[in-house]
Amino acid sequence: MLARVANSLYWAGRYIERSEHLARYLKVQYFSTFDAPMIQQKEVILQSILHMASNVITNEETNSQQQHQQQQQQSTHSFSEQDILVTVGFDLENSTSILSSVQYARENARNVRYTLSSELWEAINAFYHYTKEYPVDFYKTRGLYDFTTSVIQHSYVVRSYADSTLLHDNVWAFFKLGIYLERAVQIMRILNSKVTDIQVLTGNGKDDPLTAYQWTTTLKTLEGFDMHRKVYRGNIKQENVVSFLLTHPAFPRSVAFTLGKVNFILSRLTFALNPNSQLNFQSEKLETSFKFLEYKEVEDDLQAFLGASLEKIYNLNDLIEQEYFE
């Protein structure tokens, strides 16, 4: 397989997954502002949504709390609510908006159209046309729920066709590798963002009703509320939620599970890694660090841990690019 083909498949998967996570974050967080505990905190959540769709997704996620608060204050005065919603949903000048992500996914898929099944290509193409043609005026006033729900459903359809219509060969592997690597990135970004929101809203991040509410919205954003309730009997507190989303071995949106899938897919590539490859070593090391992580090891400075771990995932992406795309 040519490096450019593998690269296009990988990034098509990443952009599909990115669009879904941003849509879920926008949907759950925005509508949480209408609930009683959050009625006075709308500006903080809107800024959190804007931050998740920031133009640059880099190691700068580790900004200090003071910097983040300053950015919140500046952006709150610079953007109206509708401006923020449009920036996140449809702004093509914002490379991480939902529409931009879907457009990039389609462009990458079109570059390797001949490697895909007709069903998968048509699903990606339909996804793009749905987002491109959605009436922005309706979205700004009454269509946000409909739009975000449909984006989530389209992304599920794309992933389903990838699994059910492609040979599980290198084409499938690179597409899925992009999906799982991006999922790990987005889980960490969401956790990092919510820790910051809790600190801004409560000033201490301790387990109080407002903090529990924020962790509830985090679980719903990552579609883990019901499964968390099964594991922890509904006891929503920071330790339980963070442990569940970082380390649970059987929850598909935990970091440990997701990195396990990254390692599995790397092992499925027919041009397998050199056993001494840094990618192989760092990928397995990172998965193991989450599988055996204990909350007490990170509770004193959770945000620093999340920032450092996110940087390691970005470095894993760099190693993938060096190994396969250069």
Mean pLDDT of the chain: 88
* Inter-residue long-range contacts of 128-137, CB under 8 Å, 24+ positions, other chains counted: 128/102, 128/103, 130/154, 131/19, 131/90, 131/98, 131/99, 131/102, 131/103, 132/99, 132/102, 132/103, 134/90, 136/86, 136/89, 136/90
Residue range 259-270: average pLDDT?
90
- The per-residue pLDDT for 177 is 97
Q: Distance between CA atoms of 171 and 1, rounded to whole angstroms?
A: 9
What is the pTM assigned to this prediction? 0.91
Average pLDDT for residues 76-101, to the nearest whole number? 87
What are the pLDDT digits (tens) for 39-85? 658 888 888 999 998 754 444 444 444 455 455 545 445 678 888 99
Residue 244 has pLDDT above 60, yes or no: yes
pLDDT, position 277: 78
